[in-house]
Structure formats: structure tokens, C-alpha cells
């Protein structure tokens, strides 16, 4: 493969950028060829997919707002796995206005791999944009994004949580792991009374049977009849590199979509195991999706939560405005930015499943919340305030050996017919083991906010992540978390 660089910079009258402004990308385009018309470089056709040998080269064009003066531009060409294929020589461009334009020509030749490539550009040493493009037609075992979507897509399913009344409370994804076994994230089954698996052909299967799971690993294998669908082949996640581009399925507007994510890091989280960190973040519904390499092999299960029980069912949150606001601001794990490597999931598991009711009775599932509008807020703190008039305490989610106790505060107000009840709190570790309790406190609600607080000694709690469930008359209505660091 050879790489030729043709560069052009065109000055255009525009507003002046300040000396401290970083380059701002206005647009990036790609096409099979282009030409200069007057002082403008124009692509003869705009597209992002190129098929060899019909296409022998491609042009990628960038335009920025940058301060006038001398600029150094560098282009880094990356293969689908994120590895660097080539780095262009530094190019010096002198501008007299704030418009900076440049294009590169990339030659195609045998030996190039199929898949989604990208060219990352730096201007004056600063990241200045990236442009993805797809190459196809080369003799390679790798698949295009379209090829993966079409071949792997039928084995990707929706997983719906159902409550005791059979009503859908949440939506996630999953995929065929083996014959009559669906892999998904643990958070996709947590708190559910029943599950409904929907396949791409519209077939729906209800199940309450779980073959294997890990609460702290955030993975689960659910039993459901898969018919003739093929399992997604398991890949080698040890070969994943930081910066590599992988694929993730998602749910958008009642349809399955597929997108590209970058690997931002990988490591072990104490108490939870290994995690693959991805960017950009994906919506919560992507939990349970297969994380796929360019061969269409699954290397991870999207989710990777390190706060088991933090996922608040969106349907349940509709009863409490404050819960909706927490979801909207990203608390409680409302986005997916990591995955559990498939190496964390055993190759074999018991053939005899357990049902969700049994798991719930054994304390292995998180109880569902019953939000109530009378709850204004709840959280943890190291400095409780004695009076509501003093305002909410300063919230803290991290405690150390210097903290003697952990405070839990709640605020309530009368909004409907409920006027009397009892508030209590319980503390669980990441494995859902009960670690502390607060005696129930009787409350008479009024039209003014009322604070109900509890304290726990920090000493008996070892380092780790803890969940606090706040209950009204024994029913959990709020959930928060704290971490003890040492």
C-alpha cells in the first residue's frame, strides 16, 4: 500500500479567532476524487465507502477555523483495529485569515484490510478531528460494518424486564451465546419478575430461567429457545488494544442500530474483575449488546457496571420527578461506557437453570424501587445538619479511615393522601449482602420539608462499594451508593 499526500490551503474572509483558540473543525468530507475550481477544492462525489479495485484511491478533506498564521498539520491513518497504518509527514501551511483547509489522497492497493478506517488529524500538535471511512473489496477475513450487521444482527436480541403484572419496565439487549442460551448484562435481568426475549423476526419468548450469572461481573446467561440461530463466535479479548475500534449494537427509535466505539482503556477493578472501557458512551439500552471485533467475533458484553443495583428502571422512575432528574443527569449508571470481557464468562455452566423468583428470595437480585413523589431527595454525607432550614447536607459518596461515621439523609414533604409512615434504611455490599440497618423512624408529613437522617459507624465496613436502600413502610423508594476507599 502506498500513501500520497496532496495538500492545499485556501484563504477565505471570516471572523478572526483569538490566539488561544484551538482549531475548530467545521467539516470533513471524503470522496473518490476532487479538483480545484478557482480557489476552492471540490470533491467530484461525496461518500464514505470505497470498494477496491473500482476505487483506486480516495480523498479526505478537512476545514477548520484556526488563528491566522503558520500551522503544522499531521494525518494519522488507522486500520479498523485501531492500529496505525501510516503517519503523514508534517505539513506547514501559512494562512492570513481564520479559515484553514487541507486534503489528503489515500491510495488503495492489495494488502489493505476491509473495515472502517479513520484518519486522525492534528493541527499544531492538538487533536483537530477524525474522519471515518469504509474500505471493502479486499481479500480479507475481516467483515465490513454492513457485513457484520447483516450476518451477526439476527443473533442479537432485545431483552425486556417485566414486573409481577407482566408490564415492561426496562429494555436491554442480548445475543445468542449457545443453543437455547442468551447472553446479556446482569443489570438487564436484575429486579425483574419475568423476562421477554424478542428476536429480529418478531418472535417473542418469555422466560424466568437463568443458567449462569455474575452480579459483580455484570453478565448473565438466560435460557430461551433460539431455534436455528447461530451463536456469535467468541473472540480473543486479550488482543484488544487501546485505541482500537470495535462495534456495538444499540436500540434507537424501535430499531437495532450498530455503531463504532473506541477502546479507551482496559484493566481490573478490585472486587468486580476486568473491564473494557469504551468511548463514546452508549445509551442505557445498549447494555447486554455484544462488543464485536472486525471479524464479527464477540470480545465483550456491554454494561460492565461496578455499582450493581444502580440501574433504575425507567418505567418505575416515572412516579418520581427527582428520580427522572437523576437519570437525566447521568447518575446511577444511566449510560454504557464499559464492557465485561468474554474471558470473564465461563465456557461451561450448569444445564439446570434457576428461576428469577428463587434468585430474588436468596437475595441475589436487587429489589425494584417503588418511587413516591413525597420523597424530595436522599443521599450520603459525612456532615449531617440538624435542621432542615440549614439546607441539604453536603453530599459525599466517598469515605476513608478518617471518617468515623456515614450519614444518610432524606427529605420528605406531603403531596398527596400519604401523611404518615415509617422511614428506614439498609446498607448492602456489592454482592447484595446486608451490612447495616437503621431502625425505622415514624414520620408525619406536612407541607414543609422534613428531614429524616440516619448514621452508621464506618469501622465495621471494609473498603468497597455499598448500596443504601431507603424505604417507606418497608418498600424501597430510593437508592444511593457510597465507596469506602481504605
- 48 vs 45, 55, 131, 132, 343, CA distance in Å? 10, 12, 9, 7, 34
DSSP code per residue over 68-98: SEEEEEEEEEE-TTS-EEEEPPPEEEEESSS
Strand partners, 135: 50, 115
| Averaged pLDDT in 10-residue chunks for the chain of 486 residues | 37 38 91 88 94 92 94 94 87 92 88 88 94 85 81 94 93 95 97 96 96 97 94 90 89 83 92 94 93 92 94 61 48 75 91 93 93 88 73 87 91 91 96 93 93 92 95 93 92
Q: Cβ-count burial of 13 within 10 angstroms (0-12 exposed, 13-18 middle, 19+ buried)?
A: exposed
Write out the H or E segment, with its range, that includes residue 354: strand 354-355
**What is the tally of helices (H) and strands (E) in the chain?**
4, 34
Domains and CATH numbers, the chain: 3-136 (2.60.40.1930), 143-364 (2.40.10.120), 375-484 (2.60.40.10)
Say how far apart CA 77 and CA 84 lie, in whole Å.
6
The answer to whether 452 and 443 have CB atoms below 8 angstroms apart is yes
What gap in Å lies between CA 60 and CA 39, rounded to an integer?
A: 18
Q: What is the DSSP string of 226-262?
A: -TTPPPPPB--GGG--TT-EEEEEEEETTEEEEEEEE
The pLDDT of residue 328 is 43
E strands in 375-463:
375-381, 398-399, 405-412, 420-429, 434-444, 450-457
Tell the residue number behind the cell numbers 430461551, with chain if given: 224
Distance CA 61, CA 406 (A): 56
C-alpha cell at 159: 431483552
HSE, side-chain direction, 13 A CA sphere, residue 108: 23
Residue 18 confidence (pLDDT): 40
Beta partners for 256? Answer: 251
Q: Distance between CA 335 and CA 168 in Å, rounded?
A: 20
State the pTM of this model: 0.70
> What is the per-residue pLDDT for 113?
84
Amino acid at each position: 500500500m502506498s500513501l500520497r499526500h496532496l495538500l492545499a490551503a485556501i484563504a477565505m474572509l471570516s471572523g478572526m479567532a483569538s490566539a488561544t483558540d484551538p482549531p475548530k473543525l467545521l467539516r470533513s468530507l471524503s470522496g473518490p476524487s476532487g479538483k480545484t475550481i478557482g480557489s476552492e477544492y471540490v470533491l467530484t462525489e461525496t461518500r464514505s465507502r470505497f470498494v477496491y479495485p473500482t476505487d483506486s484511491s480516495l480523498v479526505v478533506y478537512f476545514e477548520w477555523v484556526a488563528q491566522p498564521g503558520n500551522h503544522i498539520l499531521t494525518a494519522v491513518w488507522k486500520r479498523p483495529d485501531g492500529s496505525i497504518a501510516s503517519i503523514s509527514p508534517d505539513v506547514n501551511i501559512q494562512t492570513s485569515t481564520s479559515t484553514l483547509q487541507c486534503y489528503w489522497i489515500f491510495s488503495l492497493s492489495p494488502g489493505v484490510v476491509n473495515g472502517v478506517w479513520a484518519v486522525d488529524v492534528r493541527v499544531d500538535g492538538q487533536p483537530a478531528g477524525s474522519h471515518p471511512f469504509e474500505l471493502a473489496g479486499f481479500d480479507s477475513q475481516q467483515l465490513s460494518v454492513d457485513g457484520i450487521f447483516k450476518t451477526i444482527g439476527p443473533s442479537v436480541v432485545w431483552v425486556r424486564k417485566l414486573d409481577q403484572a407482566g408490564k415492561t419496565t426496562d429494555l436491554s439487549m442480548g445475543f445468542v451465546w449457545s443453543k437455547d442460551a442468551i447472553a446479556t448484562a446482569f443489570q438487564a435481568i436484575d429486579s425483574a419478575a419475568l423476562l421477554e426475549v424478542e428476536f429480529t423476526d418478531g418472535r417473542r419468548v418469555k422466560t424466568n430461567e437463568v443458567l449462569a450469572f455474575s452480579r459483580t461481573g455484570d453478565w448473565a446467561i438466560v435460557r430461551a429457545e433460539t431455534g436455528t440461530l447461530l451463536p456469535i463466535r467468541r473472540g480473543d479479548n486479550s488482543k484488544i488494544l487501546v485505541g482500537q475500534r470495535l462495534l456495538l449494537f444499540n436500540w434507537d427509535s424501535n430499531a437495532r442500530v450498530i455503531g463504532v466505539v473506541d477502546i479507551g482503556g482496559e484493566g481490573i477493578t478490585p472486587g468486580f474483575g476486568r473491564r473494557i472501557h469504551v468511548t463514546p458512551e452508549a445509551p442505557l439500552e445498549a447494555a447486554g449488546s455484544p462488543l464485536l471485533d472486525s471479524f464479527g467475533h464477540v470480545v465483550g458484553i456491554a454494561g460492565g457496571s461496578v455499582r450493581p443495583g444502580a440501574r433504575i428502571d425507567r418505567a418505575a422512575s416515572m412516579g418520581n420527578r427527582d428520580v427522572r432528574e437523576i437519570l437525566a443527569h447521568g447518575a446511577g449508571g444511566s449510560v454504557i461506557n464499559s464492557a465485561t470481557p468474554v474471558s470473564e464468562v465461563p465456557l461451561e455452566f450448569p444445564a439446570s437453570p434457576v428461576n428469577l423468583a428463587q434468585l430474588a428470595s436468596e437475595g441475589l437480585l436487587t429489589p425494584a424501587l417503588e418511587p413516591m413523589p413525597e420523597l424530595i431527595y436522599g443521599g450520603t454525607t459525612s456532615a449531617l445538619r440538624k435542621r432542615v432550614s440549614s439546607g441539604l447536607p453536603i453530599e459525599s459518596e466517598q469515605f476513608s479511615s478518617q471518617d468515623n461515621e456515614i450519614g444518610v439523609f432524606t427529605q420528605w414533604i406531603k403531596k398527596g393522601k400519604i401523611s404518615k409512615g415509617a422511614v428506614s434504611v439498609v446498607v448492602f455490599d456489592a454482592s447484595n449482602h446486608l451490612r447495616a440497618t437503621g431502625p425505622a423512624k415514624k414520620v408525619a408529613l406536612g407541607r414543609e420539608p422534613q428531614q429524616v437522617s440516619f448514621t452508621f459507624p464506618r469501622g465495621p465496613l471494609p473498603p468497597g462499594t455499598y448500596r443504601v436502600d431507603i424505604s417507606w413502610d418497608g418498600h424501597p423508594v430510593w437508592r444511593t451508593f457510597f465507596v469506602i476507599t481504605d
